[in-house]
Every structure is written in C-alpha cells, then in structure tokens.
C-alpha cells in the first residue's frame, strides 16, 4: 500500500466551482496505466494529471493525462492545474519549467504575482487537416442540431490541432451557441470516421468586454459530453482565426481572451497568444489562473 496526495483544482478561473475541474496526482511514479485510469475514473473529472519524475535530461517533470476512459496526449486545463499545484508545493518563483507530455518536451512559464501563480503553456505545432468531405460536414451539422443558416459562413468546418485535434465550427450568434443540444451518440460515431474526438463550436458575437469569443466543446467519444473550459480547443482557435482572416493581426503577436463554460455554470477565461514571423504562425501558447478546491490522500 502507498499513499498518494491528490488535489482538485479549478482551472482557467480564480473562483472555486467555476472554470474546468481537474485532478492532480503528485508523485505518481510506479502507478500502472490501469491504476491511473482507475483513479481518473474515480475522480471523474474530464482529465486528471499524473505528475511523474523526469525520464531524461531535457525536462524537469513528466505529466500524463487520463480521462475516465483513456489516456490523452495533452490537456490544457489539467496542465495548468498540475503546474499550479507543483508551483505551490515547491514555492516556486517565476521562471520556465520544461515538461514532457504525450506530444513531446515543451516549456511552461510560471508567473508568480501577489503570492499566487499564473501559468502559460506552449502548445505543439499547428496542423490544419485536409478539408472534411461534404458528407462529413453535413453529418456534423445535423448531429449538432444546427441549421445551415446558423453557421458563420466565414468559418469553414475544419479539423485543427496543436497537439490534440478539434473540429472548429463557427456560428453567427451567442443564441445559437447557447441553445445547442447535440446528439452525443451521433458525434461519437462521426469521431470514428474523421479520427477526431472533439468538436469546438464558437461565436465571435461576444457579450463580455475584453473577450473575443465564446465557445462550447463536446467530446463524447472519450467520455466528455461537454467540457467546461478547454485549453486545447482555444489553442488551435487562434491560428484558425488568423488563417481564415477572421481577425486583424499586426506585429509579432496576436492575443485574445476566449470564454467557455457559461452554459454549465462554470465560466472560465483562456488567454491565447499566437506568435507571428512575417505573418506566419510560429508558436501558440495558452494560459490562465487556477484555484485549489481541496486536497486529500488516497491509499492504493
């Protein structure tokens, strides 16, 4: 028997019971894949992060992420949660931590301010998939319960990834976004056809000062009917907006705030930063705040 220290953290918010909850298991060395999956299922968050010792000289910490159903290579809110807890546990100052996750070794910026922390994490390379077939698009629209007239015609339905792919779907209004009641079974079946589990529906009709987009994310194929606040959906959204001319860019940085989770009563804000070089996308980072809800121990 061993005792594990476990945290419940709300990410992309500074208010308890808002944002996206994630489990964080410290000192997870020695746990089997099966045990990690059991713990993730027991905590029943969309993702749980398992903090492990490094297995090479190019990183300081290794992190694995599990949904209640399977392992995923990268997770924005659980990354934020894990590094937030690690910073508090170690009383870290501001600086850069190299972490190893399922898509490779990447830097995470720790920002200490007023005895609290902000976390900014670099994402993987941006990949725009080939356009979906007309049949696949029509299946997605139907499964979402959308009418074609509700779609933002500037926004092609397209899969984009910065480490964990999402289908981007733009709608004209906040009303259309808020009224979505997707057929989760149908979305799960479509995911098998297009090899993408997540569907991010967003609108540029913002209703909050300083916020550019509102969004909702559905991933029933991996056990997440609706995710409150999804970092790995906002990360590809930034390049998508730039590529399709939906935002104006000037200089070497485009940044914006995206809101998600309002329908679930768990609103949170994701900060997105897209670095540009001669108008070409060079790097994507996302960031935000977090708050610890509780910590406990588990004997296993």
* 246 contacts 156 by C-beta, under 8 angstroms: no
Q: Which of 15, 47, 205, 226 is catalytic?
A: 47
**Backbone torsion region of residue 148, taken as left when φ is above 0, otherwise alpha when ψ lies between -120 and 50, otherwise beta:** alpha
47 is catalytic: yes
| Separation between Cα atoms, residue 50 and residue 29, nearest integer Å | 9
Name the 3-class secondary structure at 300. Answer: coil
Per DSSP, 228 falls in state S
Q: Residue 84's closest CA among 115, 59, 54, 41?
A: 115
| Separation between Cα atoms, residue 134 and residue 267, nearest integer Å | 33
Count the Cβ atoms, other than its own, within 10 Å of residue 85: 25
Residues in the chain: 300
Q: Residue 129's closest CA among 107, 159, 169?
A: 159
Per DSSP, 130 falls in state P
Helices 184-194 and 134-144, axial angle in degrees (round to 10): 160
Count the Cβ atoms, other than its own, within 10 Å of residue 186: 16
Catalytic residues: 47
């Amino acid at each position: 028997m061993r005792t594990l220290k476990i945290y419940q953290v709300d990410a992309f918010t500074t208010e308890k019971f808002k944002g996206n909850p994630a489990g964080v298991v410290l000192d997870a060395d020695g746990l089997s894949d099966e045990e990690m999956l059991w713990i993730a299922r027991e905590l029943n968050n969309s993702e749980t992060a398992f903090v492990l010792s490094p297995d090479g000289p190019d990183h300081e910490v290794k992190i694995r992420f599990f949904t209640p159903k399977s392992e995923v290579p990268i997770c924005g809110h659980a990354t934020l949660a894990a590094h937030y807890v690690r910073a508090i546990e170690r009383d870290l100052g501001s600086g850069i931590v190299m972490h190893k996750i399922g898509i490779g070794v990447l830097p995470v910026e720790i920002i200490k301010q007023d005895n609290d922390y902000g976390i900014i994490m670099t994402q993987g390379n941006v990949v725009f998939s080939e356009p979906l077939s007309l049949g696949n698009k029509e299946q997605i629209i139907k499964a979402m319960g959308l009418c074609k007239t509700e779609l933002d015609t500037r926004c092609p339905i397209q899969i984009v990834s910065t480490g964990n792919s999402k289908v981007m779907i733009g709608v004209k209004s906040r009303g259309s976004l808020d009224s979505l009641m997707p057929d989760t079974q149908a979305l799960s079946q479509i995911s098998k056809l297009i090899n993408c589990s997540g569907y991010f529906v967003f609108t540029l009709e913002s209703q909050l000062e300083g916020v550019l987009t509102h969004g909702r994310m559905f991933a029933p194929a991996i056990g997440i009917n609706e995710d409150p606040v999804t970092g790995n959906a906002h990360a590809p959204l930034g390049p998508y907006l730039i590529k399709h001319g939906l935002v104006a860019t000037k200089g070497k940085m485009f940044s914006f705030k995206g809101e998600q989770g309002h329908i679930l009563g768990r609103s949170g804000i994701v900060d997105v930063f897209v670095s540009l070089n001669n108008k070409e996308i060079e790097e994507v980072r996302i960031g935000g705040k977090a708050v610890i809800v509780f910590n406990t121990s588990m004997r296993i």
